[in-house]
Amino acid sequence: MKQLIAANWKMYKTVAEAKSVACELTDLVPDLPENAEVAVFPPFTALAAVAEAFKGRAGFTLGAQDVYPAGEGAFTGEISPLMLLDAGCAYVLCGHSERRHVLGESDEFVGKKVAFSLEQGLAVVLCVGETLPQREAGDLSGVLRRQLESGLAGVPAGLEANRIVIAYEPVWAIGTGKVAGVAEIEQAHAIIRSYLEEFCPAIGRDVRILYGGSVKENNAGEIKRLVNVNGLLVGGASLQAGSFAQIIEA
């Protein structure tokens, strides 16, 4: 299974900036490590520019940061899986903590996005993770169970394992500079693996689990090599081509 090294650009970058970073990245990484695949999730307005920059570059893929679970219709401001596929996306993020906690998305709504995106042909990166109060209350396992059970409820039978990816992102580690410790990451990933095997028995063993939350050039290599870590989801350190290239090659 290839490691997925993903860049979440959040609400950063104009079209020109996105194009320049994507081109710089492909220049800096002429050959991807054999076991790695890269996915960049720019804002919607920059999808076309990044798609253009990645043209002909095997292993560099495009993703969107969000989606609405309907084919088309009167949903002002939203975007459908078909539109994302049309723009060149292979992946979509569902349930990022900023959407859950800033925009108020429920576990059930995230599950609808996952199911509909899979049905329409996108691969999904489902983000899960606990807040600091939830961790301090000893609720890590309960939170992960709830988010995964709802998030994976509509996964169709017969789905290939590489069409769904889980990103474990402890909310207290996102954008804070506080990376989770090695033991904390291994513990959470082991819990996620066991729920994957419970909720998706046919593919649970082979679904990739990414770690995200303050990943930088200096900790990426160590985290990548932990048991049950199959890639990284990088925010801040993916905004510059130089640091993201180092993370890819770490």
6-20 burial: b if 16+ Cβ within 10 Å, else e: bbbbbebbeeeebbe
Nearest approach in angstroms of CB 150 to ligand PGA is 20
- Pick between residue 164 and residue 179 the one whose CB is nearest to ligand PGA: 179
Can you tell me whether residue 8 is helix, strand or coil?
strand
Tell me how crowded residue 157 is: count the other CB atoms within 10 A of its CB.
Answer: 7
Please report whether residue 5 would count as binding ligand PGA according to CB under 6 A: no
Query: Cβ 12 to ligand PGA, closest distance in Å?
Result: 10
Question: Contact between 8 and ligand PGA (CB under 6 A)?
Answer: yes
CA dist 137 and 28 (Å) reads 44
Can 101 be counted among the known catalytic residues? no
The nearest distance, CB 174 to ligand PGA, in angstroms, is: 4
Could you confirm whether 96 is annotated as catalytic?
yes
Helix, coil or strand: residue 78: coil
* Distance separating alpha carbons of residues 66 and 68, to the nearest angstrom: 7
Per CB under 6 A, 233 contacts ligand PGA: yes
Q: How far apart, in whole angstroms, are the C-alpha atoms of residue 117 and residue 120?
A: 5
Residue 175 within binding range of ligand PGA, rule CB under 6 A: yes
Does residue 250 touch ligand PGA according to CB under 6 A? Answer: no
| 66/169 with CB nearer ligand PGA | 169
Give the count of residues interacting with ligand PGA (CB under 6 A).
13
DSSP output for 138-170: T-HHHHHHHHHHHHTTTPPTT--GGGEEEEE--
Q: Report the Cα 186 to chain-centroid distance in Å.
A: 18
Q: Which stretch binds ligand PGA (CB under 6 A): 68-76, 141-149, 197-205, 230-238?
A: 230-238
Query: Rule CB under 6 A: is residue 215 a binding residue for ligand PGA?
Result: yes
Q: What are phi and psi of 91, to 5 degrees?
A: -120, 160
Q: How far is the CB of 82 from ligand PGA (least distance, A)?
A: 25
By CB under 6 A, residue 219 contacts ligand PGA: no
- Least distance to ligand PGA, CB of residue 154, Å: 23
CA-based torsion, 210, 211, 213, 214: positive or negative: negative
- The one catalytic residue in 37, 96, 98, 189 is 96
129 binds ligand PGA (CB under 6 A): no
Which residues in the 195-214 window bind ligand PGA by CB under 6 A?
Answer: 212-214
Q: What residues does 132 pair with on adjacent strands?
A: none
DSSP annotation of 180: P
The residues that are catalytic are 96, 169
- Give the binding site for ligand PGA (CB under 6 A): 8, 169, 174-175, 212-215, 233-237
